[in-house]
Structures are given as structure tokens and as C-alpha cells.
């Protein structure tokens, strides 16, 4: 009887929570991991995104990028978001990097998303992404450069428990040719990323979760020569303030990694020790 009463209580709590749960778009529920949802046709959304990267093997390393963008949805299942970003670098006594303390215009980019499967009509949501980017500084060192990058994304998500528990998986490939504006030399690199995340709605419009991201870096645009890898783990948070305003945040720590022909348990040559994210959005 005691077990039956507990089961009934849990069922009642779940039913009440479901009744109060907010309707959500999954795009930014998961921190660094994206969801598959695309805004409705005609909607516009202003977004602010700050990403901080901190920590190398020695010295002081901090790089903060602040991006502002406006998302448009001209057609069903298609979103377009142009973005501009500035960055702040604080680097001193880091092996392999010049000391640098600067604020600089960083990059202009375009975020393109096309939803192939709607999660509300299919077994899961599926969206393809293409994000071309042109930067004026190297994103790791802050050195003057012309960096022509692009991210190719495959985004999958699913409601595991209706309106309560959400899961997402991302596959990302990023080729990136870079020309130093100091020496004129070219460098060609690429990165492969996999991420998985869970988020639970603990009260209407408020979700907490966790994500795992695995990243591998290579010399060459075609994943030619392995240079290092890193595994990041951390919590995520999302809050919907109203029908128009929301915010999301995430923090990831590198818990394992390896640089090619290097020593140590982490790769702090190609990646940082910690990465933080803070986003705000407003639909208008």
C-alpha cells in the first residue's frame, strides 16, 4: 500500500507539472548544444551571445567574444541570422602565444538552419546547419589574421518526456583556412565535434541540464593530421521570462584530452580548460 501511495503521489505531481509546463523552442535549451526547432515564419529574434574561454597549461589566458545577431525566418523551416562579434583577449606568459591585452573587432558570420524533420510530427527533430564566418583575428591567439571558416552541423533532438525532459545530439565539422596578416603565411585546420545534452523543465519555463562535448582538431581542411582532442563536461541552464524574452547559460570544463606528441592529461594547445556561455534573446 505504501508503494502504491508513493506511485500515486508521483503521478499526481507529474500530471500537475505537465499541466503547468511551458511551451518551448528547443533551439537554445542545451547550452553549447543546439536544438532542432526553427522559429515560425515571419518571426524576428534579436540575440546576444557571450562566450568566454579560459585557462591554458601555464600563464594567464582569457578570451571573451561578444556577438550580436538578428534572426529572420523568411520561409517555413528556414532561419537566417547575420551576426557581428567583438572580442577581448588577456594573454600573458602562455607558452606558444604572444602576450596580448586587446579589444578588437573579431568576426562577421551568418547562421543558416533548415529543419528537415519537425520533432512534433516525427519521432525526432532533425535540422541541418551551415555557418560561414570571416574573422579579422585568430580566435585562440588574438593575432591579426584573415580567417575564413564555416561550420557544418547536423542537429537531432527529442522530447523524452512530453514537455519535461529533452535530449539533443549535434555533429559539427569546421574547416578553417587562416592567413596571418603579419607574415602572410597560410594555415589550414579543421575540427570535428560531437555533443550530447539533456535538459529537464523543473518549473514552467525553467530548465536545468548537462552536456558532454568531444572535440578533435586536425591540420588540413579534410581532417588530415590529428593534432589533439578534448572532452568537456558541464551544466546548462535556460529560463523563459515571457513569450518574447529568454536566456540560456552553460559552463564546460575540459576533463580529459591529449595533444599530439605532447605530455599531460589535457589538450591546452588547441583548446582551453574552461568555456562559458551566456545568451539572451528577444522576439519582436
pLDDT of residue 14: 40
DSSP the chain: -HHHHHHHHHHHHHHHHHHHPPP---TTTBTTBPPS--PPTT-EEEEEEEEEEE--SSSEEEEEEEEEEEEEEEETTEEEEEEEEEEEEEEES-TTS--EEEEEEEEEEEEEEEEEE-TTTSSSEEEEEEEEEEEEE-TTT--EEEEEEEEEEEEEEEEEETTTEEEEEEEEEEEEEEEETTT--EEEEEEEEEEEEEEEEEETTEEEEEEEEEEEEEETTTT-EEEEEEEEEEEEEEEE-SSSEEEEEEEEEEEEEEETT--SSS-TTTS-SEEEEEEEEEE-
Burial of 38 (0-12, 13-18, 19+ CB in 10 A): buried
Gap between the Cα atoms of 276 and 257, Å rounded: 18
Q: Which residue's entry shows cell 575540459?
A: 254
CA distance 127 to 228: 28
The answer to whether the Cα torsion of 48, 115, 157, 119 is positive or negative is: positive
Q: What is the pLDDT of residue 172?
A: 98
Q: Catalogue all structural domains in the chain, each as residue range(s) with its CATH number.
A: 2-283 (2.40.160.40)
Set of cell numbers at residue 109: 558570420
- Residue 113 confidence (pLDDT): 98
pLDDT < 70 regions, the chain: 1-22
Contact (CB, 8 A) for 20 and 10: no
Amino acid at each position: 500500500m505504501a508503494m502504491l501511495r508513493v506511485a500515486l503521489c508521483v503521478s499526481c505531481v507529474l500530471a500537475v507539472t505537465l499541466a503547468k509546463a511551458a511551451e518551448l523552442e528547443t533551439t537554445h535549451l542545451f547550452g553549447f548544444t543546439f536544438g532542432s526547432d526553427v522559429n515560425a515564419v515571419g518571426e524576428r529574434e534579436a540575440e546576444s551571445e557571450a562566450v568566454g574561454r579560459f585557462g591554458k597549461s601555464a600563464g594567464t589566458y582569457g578570451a571573451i567574444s561578444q556577438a550580436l545577431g538578428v534572426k529572420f525566418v523568411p520561409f517555413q523551416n528556414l532561419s537566417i541570422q547575420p551576426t557581428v562579434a567583438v572580442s577581448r583577449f588577456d594573454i600573458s606568459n602562455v607558452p606558444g602565444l604572444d602576450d596580448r591585452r586587446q579589444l578588437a573587432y573579431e568576426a562577421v558570420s551568418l547562421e543558416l538552419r533548415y529543419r528537415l524533420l519537425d520533432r512534433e510530427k516525427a519521432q525526432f527533430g532533425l535540422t541541418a546547419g551551415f555557418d560561414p564566418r570571416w574573422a579579422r583575428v585568430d580566435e585562440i591567439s588574438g593575432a591579426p589574421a584573415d580567417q575564413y571558416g564555416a561550420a557544418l552541423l547536423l542537429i537531432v533532438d527529442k522530447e523524452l518526456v512530453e514537455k519535461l525532459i529533452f535530449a539533443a545530439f549535434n555533429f559539427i565539422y569546421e574547416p578553417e583556412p587562416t592567413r596571418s596578416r603579419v607574415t602572410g603565411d597560410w594555415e589550414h585546420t579543421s575540427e570535428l565535434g560531437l555533443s550530447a545534452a539533456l535538459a529537464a523543465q523543473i518549473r514552467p519555463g525553467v530548465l536545468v541540464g548537462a552536456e558532454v562535448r568531444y572535440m578533435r582538431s586536425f591540420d588540413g581542411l579534410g581532417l588530415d593530421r590529428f593534432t589533439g582532442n578534448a572532452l568537456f563536461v558541464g551544466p546548462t541552464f535556460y529560463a523563459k521570462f515571457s513569450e518574447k524574452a529568454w536566456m540560456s547559460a552553460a559552463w564546460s570544463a575540459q576533463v580529459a584530452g591529449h595533444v599530439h606528441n605532447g605530455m599531460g592529461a589535457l589538450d591546452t594547445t588547441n583548446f582551453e580548460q574552461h568555456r562559458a556561455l551566456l545568451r539572451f534573446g528577444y522576439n519582436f
